[in-house]
Amino acid sequence: MNRYPLWKNVFVAIVILIGLIYTVPNFFGESPAVQITPAKSTTKLDSALLGQVESVFQQENIAYDGVYLDARGVKARFANTDTQIRAKDVLQARLGSDYTVALNLLSRSPDWLRSVGAKPMYLGLDLRGGVHFLLQVDMKAALSKAAERFVGDFRIALRKERISYVGVSREGETVQINFNDEAELIKAKAIIGKEYPNLTLTESSNGSERVLKASLNLVEQKRIQDFAIKQNIQTLHNRINELGVAEPIIQQQGADRVVVQLPGVQDTAKAKDILGRTATLEIRLVDEDKTDAATLEKAANGQAPLGDDVFKDRDGQPVLVKKSVALTGDYITDAGPGVDSQSGRNTVNVTLDARGARIFQQVTRENVGKRLAILLIEKGSTEVITAPTINEEIGGGRVQISGMANTQEATDISLLLRAGALAAPMDIIEERTVGPSMGQDNINRGIHSTLWGFAAIAVMMMVYYMAFGAVSVAALAINLLLLVAILSMLQATLTLPGLAAIALALGMAIDANVLINERVREELRNGNTPQASIHAGYDRAWDTILDSNVTTLIAGLALFMFGTGPIKGFAVVHVLGILTSMFSAVLVSRAMVNFMYGYRRKLSQLSIGQIFRA
């Protein structure tokens, strides 16, 4: 009776085998590698790149251990870090700015393991070193910015329909349009209401003027906020790509937060700088009507006349520009440094998308002979880079911005413009940095805790329960194997609290075996035959094991649901550990006991330690 049917034995064997296969990659370690990813999503990723990389290595005499193509890019492994760094430099120079080359680590596991998808566990930042940021998106600013865009849109719409209005302005998140005439307001309301159904329109009076106020309704607000966070995430992706970080994680958390994890990044100051930059370009008209001395005098002191803003240009001279924005950086598709062929000065060459090109063409057509100010807004301060006079209508969406101090600045500004603007400013509200040596220390600490604890438990169990103790220890080892295998399979992030959870899972899992062994002893003590005692011991212990694991599982799930960061990492491993322990402590240990005793006809004694008989 203490024999498993064949299928059950086979099942246990297969599970253990799978566990072994998926655990093994963790033992091969990692070797230095470089990762080549296309800088733009439009660049094709195929085996041509693979060939290109290989030929670069051959030409430059760089010894590599292997080159692989996967969904994200091409990865190449090297024997040591010196070769890795040389390869990175060479590749970056040869491939140009279309590709991002980043340093990485790649598992040394053999190809056949890779082909079945067996990878080592995915280590969290506290184990591999790196930075973790939690960024808060300023949604109020996103809404104001959206309202600002409506100001321009309304002006164009009203002008097109030849509706006369006094002015369009923004106050917080509402846009108000002033009219002299009720009839014009009604016409405008009909048009705006039709074109922008997501705006709530209210009428009021201000003195002799009639005022139409447009505010964003909840649906539109939500849409803008969703868009803002998506746009910010996209921008962060672009910027981090420029940083050259392998395997960055950029995720939305909640409605208005973004988690950024940069494994291996040590220069946190630079990372923060790049993440936090909110450079954006605005093109506005210079107010040519107000150039009298008194106004300029006032402007120099920072007082701008109504409808204008005053900013300083590179020479420190105040420039009066109109409040309404002709064009924003959102329309930019590409930007690169260049040199003006006539003057030899450094420039940034900007390409606009179709809509941006159309707007720019219209603005330049309507304002020939006037000056156009190009503003760079960075970290809240605005600077007029250049304010050239429009000589003719500019079509085609290609704009050359002169006025760069040197090549470096031209490169920096084009990088910022190319990487896109943030839809709303962001603040870092949480930061966790772990140095690389600390990461390795943490791994060692976790592994030492687990192994020494395991060894001590093994000795005690075997002394106390003899052969049954050995079976329990073997079951515990298989529990560890399965837990590591599942973590490797799921590629769940393993953190130091996660390592602690592995240790704790083992410490708790032994409970099931202790329960079983004690039960078997008790059955023997009550005078049952060895075979009957094994059977009854496992049978009766099962109910208790199930009950006690369910309560632990409840705790684990609550931790998972409410925990963040380190707690979540702990909870995942904790819950998985409970599940694997139920399998190994009951099924696997029973299978082993069955092999040991189940086939003996005459069994007079079990090796389970001394049995005290009453």
Partner 1 sequence: MELFRIKNDIPFMSYGRLTTAISLITFVLAVVFLVTRGLNFGVDFTGGTIMEVNYPQAANLESVRKAVDSIGLKEATVQNFGSSHDVLIRLPVKAGVSVSQLSEQVKTALVTADPKAEVRRVESVGAQVGDELYENGGLALFFVSLGIVLYLWLRFEWRFAVAAIIANMHDVVIILGFFAFFQWEFNLTVLAAILAVLGYSVNESVVVFDRVRENFRKMRKASVVQVIDNAITRTMSRTIITHTMTQTMVGSMLLFGGEVLHNFALALTIGILFGIYSSVLVACPIAMWLGVNRANLIGDVEKKEDASKAGKKTDVAEPHPSDFA
Q: How many angstroms separate the CA atoms of 250 and 238, rounded?
A: 11
Distance CA 397, CA 406 (A): 24
H or E stretch covering 168 = strand 167-171
DSSP 127-151: HH-EEEEEEEE-HHHHHHHHHHHHH
Establish if 305 lies at the interface with partner 1 (CB under 8 A).
no
Minimum CB–partner distance for residue 482 and partner 1 (Å): 18
Positions 567 through 606 that interact with partner 1 (CB under 8 A): 567, 570-571, 574
In sequence order, what are the residues at sequence separation of 6 or more whose Cβ sits closer than 8 angstroms to the Cβ of residue 190? none
Site for partner 1 in 328-387 (CB under 8 A): none
Q: How far is CA 477 from the centre of its chain?
A: 35
Concatenated DSSP letters of 174-232: EEEEEES-HHHHHHHHHHHHHH-TTEEEEEEEETTEEEEEEEE-HHHHHHHHHHHHHHH
The correct pick among 183, 219, 354, 550 for binding partner 1 (CB under 8 A) is 550
Q: Which stretch binds partner 1 (CB under 8 A): 74-82, 114-122, 198-206, 558-566?
A: 558-566
Q: Which residues contact 8 (CB under 8 A, 6 or more apart)?
A: 587, 591
Distance CA 151, CA 170 (A): 7
* Token pair in block for residue 483: 């837990």
Looking at residue 198, what DSSP letter applies? T
Minimum CB distance to partner 1, residue 424 (Å): 16
Q: Which two tokens stand for residue 258?
A: 């973004």
* Closest CB to partner 1 among residues 115, 437: 437
Binder of partner 1 out of 41, 437, 604, 605 (CB under 8 A): 437
Min. distance of Cβ 329 from partner 1 in angstroms?
Answer: 24
Q: Per rule CB under 8 A, is residue 446 in the interface with partner 1?
A: yes
Q: Work out which of 324, 411, 433, 579 binds partner 1, going by CB under 8 A.
A: 433
Q: What is the DSSP letter of 264?
A: T
* Interface pick for partner 1 out of 327, 556, 589, 590 (rule CB under 8 A): 556
By CB under 8 A, tell whether 255 contacts partner 1.
Answer: no
Q: Report how far residue 305's alpha carbon sits from residue 484's, in angstroms, rounded to the nearest whole number.
A: 68
| Member of 504, 585, 588, 606 binding partner 1 (CB under 8 A) | 504
Total binding residues for partner 1 by CB under 8 A? 90
Termini Cα distance of the chain: 28
The reply to whether 532 sits near partner 1 by the rule CB under 8 A is yes
Candidate segments 31-39, 240-248, 399-407, 550-558, binder of partner 1 by CB under 8 A: 550-558
Among 55, 222, 558, 600, binds partner 1 (CB under 8 A): 558
Least Cβ distance, residue 110 to partner 1 (angstroms): 32
Q: Which stretches of 244-312 are DSSP H helices?
A: 268-276, 293-300
Residue 511 is a binding residue for partner 1 (CB under 8 A): yes
- The nearer residue to partner 1, 377 or 428, going by C-beta atoms, is 428
Comparing CB distances to partner 1, the nearer of 137 and 500 is: 500
User: How far is 514 from 508, CA to CA, in rounded Å?
Assistant: 10
Tokens matching residue 286: 């210079």
Judged by CB under 8 A, the residue of 559, 583, 595, 603 near partner 1 is: 559
Residue type, 1: M
Angle (nearest 5°) at CA 199 between 196 and 200: 140
Tell me the C-alpha distance between 258 and 308, whole Å: 35
Min CB(118)–partner 1 separation in Å: 28
Taking CB under 8 A as the criterion, the residue among 152, 307, 336, 563 binding partner 1 is 563
Q: How far is the CB of 134 from partner 1 (least distance, A)?
A: 7
CB-based burial label for 168 (10 Å; 0-12, 13-18, 19+): buried
Which tokens belong to 421?
């603007």
* Beta carbon nearer to partner 1, 41 or 551: 551
**CA–CA gap between residue 557 and residue 574 (Å, rounded):** 9
Residue 536 is a binding residue for partner 1 (CB under 8 A): yes
Indicate whether 324 belongs to the interface with partner 1 (CB under 8 A): no
**Residue 423, interface with partner 1 (CB under 8 A)?**
no
Q: What is the dihedral of CA 120, 122, 127, 130, to 10 degrees?
A: 130
Q: How far is the CB of 251 from partner 1 (least distance, A)?
A: 16
Contacts of 604 (CB under 8 A, 6+ apart): 530
Residue 453 binds partner 1, judged by CB under 8 A: yes
DSSP character at residue 594: I
Q: Which is nearer to partner 1, 488 or 517 (CB)?
A: 517
Instruction: Choose between 190 and 554: whose C-beta lies nearer to partner 1.
Output: 554
Residue 276 CB, nearest approach to partner 1 (Å):
8
Should residue 612 be labelled a site residue for partner 1 when binding is judged by CB under 8 A?
Answer: yes
Residue 199's closest CA among 177, 166, 178, 227? Answer: 177
Q: Pick the binder of partner 1 from 514, 579, 595, 603 (CB under 8 A).
A: 514
Closest CA to 549 of 518, 588, 510, 520: 510
Handedness of CA 188, 193, 195, 200 (dihedral sign): positive
- Interaction of residue 435 with partner 1, rule CB under 8 A: yes
Single residue of 222, 230, 448, 600 touching partner 1 by CB under 8 A? 448
Q: Is residue 461 involved in binding partner 1 (CB under 8 A)?
A: yes
With CB under 8 A as the contact rule, the residue among 470, 528, 583, 603 that binds partner 1 is 528
Cβ 40 to partner 1 shortest distance, Å: 29
| 245 strand-pairing partners | 103
Q: Which stretch binds partner 1 (CB under 8 A): 76-84, 280-288, 343-351, 564-572?
A: 564-572
User: Is 503 near partner 1 (CB under 8 A)?
Assistant: yes
Contact pattern for partner 1 over residues 117 through 136, marking x by CB under 8 A: ---------x------xx-x
Work out whether 497 is an interface residue with partner 1 (CB under 8 A). Answer: yes
Q: Does 457 bind partner 1 (CB under 8 A)?
A: yes
314 is a contact residue toward partner 1 (CB under 8 A): no
Q: Considering beta carbons, is residue 515 or 588 the nearer one to partner 1?
A: 515
Per CB under 8 A, contacts with partner 1 among 135-164 are: 136
Exactly one of 438, 491, 600, 607 binds partner 1 (CB under 8 A); that residue is 438
Q: How far apart are CA 223 and CA 232, in angstroms?
A: 14
Residues within window 53-112 making contact with partner 1, judged by CB under 8 A: none
Beta strands 493-494 and 122-123 are parallel
